Amino acid sequence: MKITFVGLGNMGAPMARNLLKAGHQLTVYDLVPPAVAALVAAGASAAKSLREAAGGAELLITMLPSSPHVRAAYLGADGLLAGVAPGVLLVDSSTIDPQSAREVAAAAAAHGNPMADAPVSGGTGGAAAGTLTFMVGATPEIFARIQPVLAQMGKNIVHCGASGNGQVAKICNNLLLAISMIGVSECMNLGAALGIDPKVLAGIINTSSGRCWSSDTYNPYPGVMEGVPAARGYTGGFGADLMLKDLGLALDAAKHTKQPVVLGAAAQQLYQMFSARGAGAEDFSAIIKLYMAGQTS
């Protein structure tokens, strides 16, 4: 299949490589020449412009940093919609606000191009291993058509409903994840201060009503689990600044829909405070350091 892939950053590059491995004929585009060169060395063709990249594709995938990038790439005068043939499927895997996703998809539809939003979770590790989760917002027909290709880059391809709902699922999940992670941090730290062995406490919580992914799979308290960022100085994993970005999207969406998110807002501010200490590049579970006396990042 002739696929065009736009956006070869930390996530996009390994995703594109997996499409090459799967045997697709890949055209790539990025503003950073070495990123393009690396993919060309792996067998892809380079396009000189977005418009050119879009021409000839049977499927077009984008992986960009933020809403303005996505809007510009698709809607710009020399952008993807200007170059793509009607009927070609479009997939945006960027994590952006649902409203923008829906607006771009509506513009694509008006141009004759079915479009899906398909943000991912799983990090750079999952991108390289091809084990990402894709949260897809699209009609059932579009979903059915893109599912096989997404499955070459990921393990779980989840249909979240109509256009924009992939983004909704992503930011709602991460809103809850941030709250849970801080909740586990407060809980573990309080327990330790009160004299219980953190491992014992985690064991009890994990079989009780406090059970959550942040506790049983990704516990932030040092020494409780192996193989998690807390066991390796909070390196690797999902960076605190990326969580802060997603919280920003969730809080913006809450503002626009007039939904209160009290703990979500507090979580955003705590991550902001943490990031302001210069620790934004650490794994997001390092937020527990805010709660530890004498700990600095």
**Cα(131)–Cα(124) distance, integer angstroms:** 10
Choice between 24 and 170, CB closer to a second copy: 170
Choice between 21 and 211, CB closer to a second copy: 211
- Other Cβ atoms closer than 10 A to 293: 6
The distance of closest approach from Cβ of residue 198 to a second copy in the complex, given in angstroms and rounded to an integer, is 10
At residue 83, the 3 state secondary structure works out as helix
Choice between 15 and 177, CB closer to a second copy: 177
Task: Report yes or no: 260 and 204 within 8 Å, Cβ to Cβ.
Answer: no
Task: Report yes or no: 240 and 246 within 8 Å, Cβ to Cβ.
Answer: no
Choice between 51 and 102, CB closer to a second copy: 102
The distance of closest approach from Cβ of residue 177 to a second copy in the complex, given in angstroms and rounded to an integer, is 5
**Cα(215)–Cα(189) distance, integer angstroms:** 12
**Cα(179)–Cα(162) distance, integer angstroms:** 27
**Cα(175)–Cα(157) distance, integer angstroms:** 20
The distance of closest approach from Cβ of residue 75 to a second copy in the complex, given in angstroms and rounded to an integer, is 17
Choice between 27 and 219, CB closer to a second copy: 219
The distance of closest approach from Cβ of residue 168 to a second copy in the complex, given in angstroms and rounded to an integer, is 4
Choice between 83 and 98, CB closer to a second copy: 98
**Cα(266)–Cα(190) distance, integer angstroms:** 19
At residue 292, the 3 state secondary structure works out as coil
State the catalytic residues: 170
Task: Report yes or no: 27 and 57 within 8 Å, Cβ to Cβ.
Answer: yes
**What DSSP element (H or E) covers 74?**
helix 67-75
First to last CA, the chain: 47
**Cα(194)–Cα(102) distance, integer angstroms:** 49
Backbone dihedral region for residue 16 (phi beyond 0: left; psi -120 to 50: alpha; all else: beta): alpha
